[in-house]
Amino acid sequence: MERCVVDTSVLISKRLDAVLQCAERYVTSVVLLEYMTWARRSAEEAAEPRRRGYLRLLQLLPSLLRQLDIRVVDGVAVEDVDIAVKWVLERGVNPGDALISAVARRLDAVVITRDRDWERLPEVKSVILP
């Protein structure tokens, strides 16, 4: 694959093998926010030593992005918001997923995900991993 946007579900699941198939790799600020929120919440709810493990995953996020040469998409265009709002209202898509999808569409990128919600967005190229 040429250009990919990596979804939060892939980073959490550690299905990074699929990410390596992409020539250009991106995440959006929404993905980073979702990942950091997941790791922090998981740490708060976990007992030791799992708590430390979740906090370590959070600490390692910047180095993971560097190691995999994943670039952060800098900014969301107003047109992305227009499209995302439409998908949220008309198709019931999660707002974060809608923004990620709108950015991926603008970049002409494939979304790499484990989330079947992308089936509701056939106009967005996606690979749904098992």
What tens-digit pLDDT sequence spans the chain (130 residues)?
Answer: 799 999 999 999 978 899 999 999 999 999 999 999 999 999 999 999 999 999 999 999 999 999 999 999 988 999 999 999 999 999 999 999 999 999 999 999 999 999 998 999 999 999 999 9
Considering only CA atoms, which of 4, 2, 3, 10 is closest in space to residue 114?
A: 10
What's the token pair of residue 122?
Answer: 């056939």
d(CA 119, CA 105): 15
Check residue 15 and give its pLDDT: 85
Check residue 55 and give its pLDDT: 97
Sorted by where each begins, the domain ranges of the chain are: 3-128
The superfamily CATH assigns to domain 3-128 is 5'-nuclease (3.40.50.1010)
Check residue 14 and give its pLDDT: 79
Check residue 75 and give its pLDDT: 86
